Chain A
């Protein structure tokens, strides 16, 4: 058998231009997948639009006092309700700051452990510890925090308070601890535990891109391991670590349930970290059930502020991480 094409085969063969084999299916499918991708943008936009609209009456009424006034009085005996969220913004800031101060060094330490120190066999278990931390629901952390940790911390706080009592300045930070242990500090500790997984994971990603060549160069000069880390790993990953910290901040600010259980629920602005207070996210869940009308709108308004803040921080964080990646890739090539 030599040539295959005969006259009849030529005629039977459809032209190269014929559109068989699911052309319409291709168009439908690609449009459908695009639509689901766009869903992300649609939902984000809708969140912003609908919640702002719902909260608008309160925004209009309070104006900038919404974020600058510390009076939060939804059900006054007389007169109009006042919704000033400053105390909650303060509480969010303080608890998040404490979370970063405690959680970031631990996370970077774990990330360093995983990338530089861990022997192969230990690495899997260490990663599993971090993953398990991430898997525990935040409400369980909150439960443990309020019923187990907070009461146990009260004597610790008291001791620290006594230690710093004579020191001016610090004594107002480490003031009289609240009896239940529910305070900014406790909230900060719980938040620190909860941001460890995300900060560790991003830090690890960033640190693992350090070229072995840089590390070898440091060792070849006679550096100790720690000197190699400060000389080769940190400079290379600095930008990415900043991004990781920002992501941790975003997570801390948005954490609602665990914080609301351990922060104390008091509308309070004080430098005393052992005092009770409240955060934006926490006050929403605490008071939503009993709220109606304008009150509900005000709580939704808090949600809008929280949304805006976390989106801005997240976008900035991603930009920082990506730019750091590009910069070090450029340097490496």
Chain B
């Protein structure tokens, strides 16, 4: 049984025969001529072996009796950007929300299997979801700043962690980290809603990194934004990956190809009782998944034949 945590091995067991060959070959790096230099440097790092900060093993997510996503094995590499792609309804957002126990908020939601963080199962008895969420932050699809000032949006997370008094330095640090400081440094007391959509999303990113998480989960963070803001956030993601581990769900394949180190492809299947559910099909280096996918479903998706 191939170890699913070696890059290049597809998660789908029906491809077992191909796996050993792929596992034995050393990781290959594909350079496509159009790639600009900075991306090439990032991809270089894929030569290092994958150091998983978080691991999903056999994870299924249930809503009541309905098994929405089945049997997922997925490593999340430290200081890497892992993208989850696939058509609608294939469970990518569900899996993402399982990583910081946001599914707990849905009545009847249940997770089986293990989701480990630094080797510890975050769903173990005695684990406080609040602590999990302080270390694994989230940025949502539609920017959702609090109806407070820019300053107070950032300060909110800091105050939760017990910091009191003036937090100017930390606020500046967070805003700088989100590449927003220069644009807002003179208007920190303004309402967050005065910012444009792209700026609001960067504010949400700044709010998330202010509490110094180790992982940042992003649920289609650019889908509500225009192309220019999207580009800025993609650049920001690459910077953030140096300090944080990033997992991003995206509908936009090209974005995944541009930005991520590793990509997981999910799809929706129908079981013998006509019930639709989501499943992880393939996980690989982004380059390899896009240029040389092992599963034909992956190939169909990335070449645009469906989804």
Contact = CB atoms under 8 A, between A and B. Distances in A.
Direct contact between A and B judged by beta carbons closer than 8 A = yes
Interface of A: 1-5, 10, 13-21, 23
Contacts, number: 37
Interface in B104-134: 117-118, 120, 122, 126-128, 130-132, 134
A146 to B, nearest CB: 50
A16 B78 contact: no
B79 interface: yes
Given A1-B243, A2-B79, 20 more contacts: A2-B242, A3-B78, A4-B214, A4-B243, A4-B244, A5-B118, A10-B118, A13-B135, A15-B131, A16-B117, A16-B120, A16-B128, A17-B128, A18-B128, A18-B131, A19-B128, A21-B130, A21-B134, A21-B161, A21-B162
Contact of A16 (B127, B161, B242, B243): B127
Contacts of A18: 128, 131
B131 A16 contact: yes
Interface in B68-85: 78-79
Interface in B210-225: 214
Contacts of B128: 16-19, 23
Contact of B214 (A1, A2, A5, A19): A5
Interface string B141-182: 000000000000000000011100000000000000000000
A77 B226 CA distance: 90
Given A16-B117, A16-B122, A3 B130 contact: no
24 contacts: A1-B242, A3-B78, A3-B79, A4-B243, A4-B244, A5-B118, A5-B214, A13-B135, A14-B131, A16-B120, A16-B122, A16-B127, A16-B128, A16-B135, A17-B126, A17-B127, A17-B131, A18-B128, A18-B131, A20-B131, A21-B130, A21-B134, A21-B160, A21-B162
Contacts of B162: 21
B234 to A, nearest CB: 21
Interface of B: 78-79, 117-118, 120, 122, 126-128, 130-132, 134-135, 160-162, 214, 242-244
A14 B131 CA distance: 9
Contacts of A21: 130, 134, 160-162
What 10 A-B pairs have minimum CB-CB distances, sorted nearest first? A17-B126, A16-B131, A16-B127, A17-B127, A21-B130, A16-B120, A19-B128, A3-B79, A2-B79, A16-B132
A23 B78 CA distance: 30
A19 B134 CA distance: 12
A63 B128 CA distance: 61
B221 to A, nearest CB: 22
Nearest to A9: B214
A23 B120 CA distance: 22
A131 B118 CA distance: 61
Contacts of B79: 2-3
Contacts of A3: 78-79
B129 to A, nearest CB: 9
Contacts of A13: 135
Contacts of A17: 126-128, 131
Contacts of B78: 3
A4 B131 CA distance: 18
A14 B130 CA distance: 12
A1 B127 CA distance: 30
A15 B120 CA distance: 10
A12 to B, nearest CB: 12
A297 B161 CA distance: 59
Contacts of B130: 21
A264 B46 CA distance: 93
B174 to A, nearest CB: 16
Contacts of B126: 17
Contacts of B160: 21
A4 B78 CA distance: 10
B14 to A, nearest CB: 36
Count chain B CB atoms within 10 A of each CB in A5, A16, A20 and give the residue with the most. A16
A14 B161 CA distance: 12
A19 B126 CA distance: 9
Contacts of B122: 16
Count chain A CB atoms within 10 A of each CB in B78, B130, B243 and give the residue with the most. B130
Nearest to B214: A4
Nearest to B122: A16
A49 to B, nearest CB: 35
A60 B126 CA distance: 59
A166 B263 CA distance: 94
Contacts of B242: 1-2
Nearest to A15: B131
A20 B78 CA distance: 26
A21 to B, nearest CB: 6
Nearest to B241: A2
A245 to B, nearest CB: 36
B137 to A, nearest CB: 14
Contacts of B161: 21
A26 to B, nearest CB: 9
B46 to A, nearest CB: 14
Contacts of B131: 14-18, 20
Nearest to A19: B128
Contacts of B244: 4
A5 B53 CA distance: 10
Contacts of A14: 131
A218 B131 CA distance: 58
Count chain A CB atoms within 10 A of each CB in B126, B135, B244 and give the residue with the most. B126
Contacts of A5: 118, 214
A23 B126 CA distance: 13
A22 to B, nearest CB: 9
Contacts of B118: 5, 10
A3 B243 CA distance: 7
A13 B135 CA distance: 10
